[in-house]
Amino acid sequence: MSVSVVVLAAGKGTRMKSNTPKVLHKISGKPMLFHILDESKKLSDDITVVLSHQFDLVKESIENNYQNINIHKQDIANFPGTGGALKGVEVSGDRVLILNGDMPLVTTASLEKLAQSTAPIAMTILELDNPSGYGRVVIEDGLAKEIVEEKDCTNEQKKIKSVNAGVYCVDRAVLEEFIPKIDNNNAQKEYYLTDIVKMAVEKGLNIEPIVVNEDEFMGVNSKVDLANAEEFMQDRIKKELMLSGVIMRNPASIYIDSRAKFIGECILENGATIEGACEIENSHIKAYSVVEDSILKDSDVGPMAHIRPKSEIIGTHIGNFVEVKKSKLNGVKAGHLSYLGDSEIDEGSNIGAGVITCNYDGKAKYKTKIGKNVFVGSDSQLVAPVTLEDNTMVASGTTVTDDVPSDALAISRVKQKVVNSFFSKFFKK
Ligand code: UD1
Ligand code: MG
């Protein structure tokens, strides 16, 4: 049985109080909508996203990151509502999974379960102590009979704690028959997708209610929800990583982007922040270090180090208060208080405390190349563009402005003067 996916994402998201479209708000580094698309792609290759509000922005963002996602523009002025969203959508699968763009925590496993139902309509149910805000589901003899939106509920119906999570799996034929028949005779004057349940029941079709978990099927409507969803997602990411071999000290204090990959045995100490699509292999990230969009292999970093995007750090020791940006370090030691930007540093080289690559002259960025077995003394500045060839030394406190040829020493230092008996004369009472 083939499955198509339709993701409803045309809503305004007023409660987010943001200029950013709701579904592009990020959870663990990735827009909410992309979490859903990534899970959907594991199930189906016929995926349609319904958009309207900030159409161009969301469409462009999808097209920049995905191929073969169909985009449908809802005629929201004439057909507002979740039922209106499906008007004119064409799908190819026998079954259609209808998802919401603001449900970033849904997993393929749960969607698969829903898709496996053989009922003409399978719908997701949340059992909530506080059902307010949701459509209530009237369930009789184990089958769903009707969904009543809160604004259309009687006082008695408001007490129902089984609510509609808003995700469905429907036979395509059922959708094709009922979507054109939905009207807007309700409190909100909207075309409710939920009306297909009532129509199907009237026709004698079974609606299977499938109870799901809030920690997967929670909708994000506000920034409070966004923070809650982030917590669920972080918890999930970290548990998976720990089970696959990553050691974490005080996991609650660690942040890991959903795109980060870990290979072999890695250690993350408390406060470690891993942003972007990092690839970290057999490495140790010490406390309060930040690693962004970089590759780390057989290395240790921190505490309190900052590895900025596009760095490649192999077999290297990075100590405290070292910042690295867009640099390749292979077999290097940079133990303390340095800035290494736009640089390439090769095996056996030692970067002393306080060494700075001066990579920017106010107009453009320049490269620093440091070969093998180079010893750069503490508190030196390397004014780029500059090359230190293999087997060279830079004396402490030097400002390197010219290339240093192999086997040479670079030193630029004012000669020290010693004035004897100075202290006692200076402080004489
Ligand atoms: C809907 C359900 C309600 C359920 C709740 C679960 C209906 C009528 N009601 O209510 O039973 O308990 O979800 O969260 O379906 N959307 C569009 N176009 C629109 C309107 C909405 O694409 O014109 C999209 C939104 O972007 C969102 C989804 O549909 O992703 C749900 O819309 P929302 O406005 O949140 O529906 P609710 O009123 O909360
Ligand atoms: Mg909603």
Ligand 1: lining residues by beta carbon, under 6 Å: 8-11, 50, 74, 76, 80-82, 84-85, 100-102, 134-135, 147, 149, 163-166, 192-194, 219
Look at the block and give the residue holding tokens 């970089």: 294
**Structure tokens given for 342:** 């736009």
Residue span(s) of the chain under CATH 2.160.10.10 come to 223-410
Look at the block and give the residue holding tokens 């982007």: 257
What is the Å distance from ligand 1's center to 81 Cα?
A: 7
* Contact in structure between 262 and 247 (CB atoms under 8 Å): no
What is the Å distance from ligand 1's center to 166 Cα?
A: 7
- Among the bound ligands, the one closest to the CA of 150: 1
What is the tens place of the pLDDT at every residue in 231-269? 999 999 999 999 999 999 999 999 999 999 999 999 999
Has residue 67 got a pLDDT over 90? yes
| C-alpha triplet 257, 23, 76: angle, nearest 5° | 170
Largest CA distance in the chain: 108
Sign of the dihedral through C-alpha 37, 264, 348, 303: positive
Rounded average pLDDT over 16-45 = 97
- Among the bound ligands, the one closest to the CA of 9: 1
Residues in the chain: 429
Has residue 280 got a pLDDT over 90? yes
Specify the residue with its C-alpha closest to ligand 1, atom 23. Answer: 81
* Ligand 1 atom with the shortest distance to the CA of 193: 15
Has residue 424 got a pLDDT over 90? yes
Partners of 399 in the β-ladder: 381
Other residues' Cβ atoms within 10 Å of the Cβ of residue 384: 22
* Ligand 1 atom with the shortest distance to the CA of 134: 12
What is the Å distance from ligand 1's center to 28 Cα?
A: 24
pLDDT at 117: 94
Specify the residue with its C-alpha closest to ligand 1, atom 25. Answer: 11
The model's confidence at residue 12, banded by pLDDT at 50, 70 and 90, is confident
The model's confidence at residue 429, banded by pLDDT at 50, 70 and 90, is confident
Nearest to 82 by CA among 172, 162, 188: 188
* Ligand 1 atom with the shortest distance to the CA of 147: 11
**Residue 306 appears among annotated catalytic residues:** no
Mutate to test the pocket of ligand 1, among 37, 82, 106, 195 (most ligand atoms within 8 A of CB): 82
DSSP string for residues in 10-54: -S--GGG-SSS-GGGSEETTEEHHHHHHHHHHTT-S-EEEEEBTB
Is the whole-model pTM more than 0.85?
yes
Burial call 32-54: b when 16+ CB within 10 Å, e when fewer: bbbbbbebbeebbebbbbbbbbb
Has residue 1 got a pLDDT over 90? no
* Ligand 1 atom with the shortest distance to the CA of 100: 30
Q: Mean pLDDT for the chain?
A: 97
Peptide bond into 180 cis (omega under 30): no
What is the tens place of the pLDDT at every residue in 181-238? 999 999 899 999 999 999 999 999 999 999 999 999 999 999 999 999 999 999 999 9
What is the Å distance from ligand 2's center to 216 Cα?
A: 15
CA 85 remoteness from chain centre: 27
What is the tens place of the pLDDT at every residue in 136-149? 999 999 999 999 99
Domain covering 3-211 assigned CATH 3.30.2080.10 in the classification: no
pLDDT at 27: 98
55-65 and 32-41 helices cross at what angle (nearest 10)? Answer: 50
pLDDT at 57: 97
Specify the residue with its C-alpha closest to ligand 1, atom 19. Answer: 81
Which CATH superfamily does the domain covering 223-410 fall into?
A: Hexapeptide repeat proteins (2.160.10.10)
Q: By percentage, how much of the chain surpasses pLDDT 90?
A: 98
Has residue 358 got a pLDDT over 90? yes
Residue span(s) of the chain under CATH 3.90.550.10 come to 3-211
